[in-house]
Amino acid sequence: MIGIDIGGANTKIVTDDEVIIRYCPLWKEAPIGEMLSGIEGEAAVVMSGELADCFYSKAEGIRFIVDAVLDVLPDARFYGTDGRFHTEPVPQLAAANWLASADFLKDHYPDGILLDFGSTTADIVPLSPFRELPGRTDLSRLRAGMLVYCGMLRTPVASLLQAVTIAGEETPLSTEYFAQAADAHLVLGHITPREYTVPAPDGKEATRELSLARLARSVCADTDEIGEQGAVAIAEAFWEAEKTLFRKSLERFGSKPVLAAGIGAELIHQTFGGINLNQEPGSSAEALPAYAVREVAIRDGF
């Protein structure tokens, strides 16, 4: 059994002995068949890539993704927000990846709250009562604080920060796409240049020096105009803004141990305590929905 999670920016594949994360932006040319070539057998699939804006509607996105997967894996089944597997492109397939994670984790950590911090978004899901979760759309999860739209890599810095204090001076940010989350987290030492796995806003390399320059540019400055300290202050304010969003959401669900997952699991664990699912045996917390949908398919049968 293979687990597959097709997001807008990344496709994740979990097999018996492997976890594969591929940067595969659907808004470019949607090369899903290519991504899955060489993979065979039964597959349990979740998606969130139907929201990519190459599609006119979610229905079109779901149809496209289901067709592309079935072309390569005719025995694939698709997990929906109703908690069931489907073979057809039904509306319930939109953004069910977080529910697959919860469906798998609920038996193991019934008192916990999942915080899956990915490249682009964070899913925050209280695992009980599980019966209250199914049926939720992205829109209703945004409103409920269960979909927090910020990530470790792709979030534009100017989308979370309107202004930042640099050397005591309140400084508004440019709204241009000059710097992203990966620049802030690289500068703060939360990721290495190797873990900067997405294109930089300026198309240049992932180095500390260039990330500092991108952060400085977000206040229309060269690094030497605000100093390295100024650029670091922008990175710190960005991470502070992300933590504030997480804290506010977590508070809505009461005090529960945080289950950290996603590429930012370690950072979430350091910040909020609880359990780092990356360090639990037999889990693949960096690709949790792909892992979880496979586990659910094995547990329940298709």
The residues binding a second copy (CB under 8 A) are 8, 27, 51, 53-54, 56-59, 95, 120, 137-139, 142-143, 147-150, 155-156, 158-160, 162, 169-178, 201-204, 213-214, 217, 219-222, 225-226
Which residue, 18 or 53, is less far from a second copy as judged by CB? 53
| CB nearer a second copy, residue 59 or residue 298 | 59
CA distance 213 to 206: 11
- Size of the chain, expressed as the number of residues it contains: 302
Nearest approach, Cβ of residue 225 and a second copy (Å): 6
In sequence order, what are the residues at sequence separation of 6 or more whose Cβ sits closer than 8 angstroms to the Cβ of residue 66? 78, 88, 89, 93
Smallest distance from a second copy to CB 143, Å: 5
Q: Judged by CB, which is closer to a second copy: 3, or 230?
A: 230
Query: Which residues contact residue 287 at a Cβ distance below 8 angstroms, ignoring those fewer than 6 apart?
Result: 3, 5, 12, 13, 14, 19, 21
Q: Are 224 and 80 in contact (CB under 8 A)?
A: no
Structure tokens at 130: 């599980």
Minimum distance, C-beta of residue 146 to a second copy, in the bound complex (Å): 11
189 vs 231: CA distance, rounded Å = 14
Minimum Å gap between C-beta 159 and a second copy is: 4
- We find the least distance from the C-beta atom of residue 101 to a second copy, in angstroms, to be 18
Amino acid type, 264? G
Q: Which is nearer to a second copy, 171 or 278 (CB)?
A: 171
Alpha-carbon gap, residue 216 to 179, rounded angstroms: 9
What is the layout of strands, in order, in the sheet containing 258-261? 147-148, 122-126, 113-117, 258-261, 275-276
SS3 state of residue 100: helix
Q: Which residue number, 65 or 277, has a Cβ lying nearer to a second copy?
A: 65
CB of 291 to a second copy, least distance (A): 24
- As measured in angstroms, the least distance from the Cβ of 51 to a second copy is 6
Q: Which is nearer to a second copy, 87 or 162 (CB)?
A: 162
Q: What is the DSSP string of 233-301?
A: HHHHHHHHHHHHHHHHHHHHT-S--EEEESTTHHHHHHHH-SEEGGGSTT--GGGHHHHHHHHHHHHH-
50 or 103: whose CB is closer to a second copy?
50
Of 19 and 59, nearer to a second copy (C-beta) is: 59
Minimum distance of a second copy from residue 103's CB (angstroms): 21
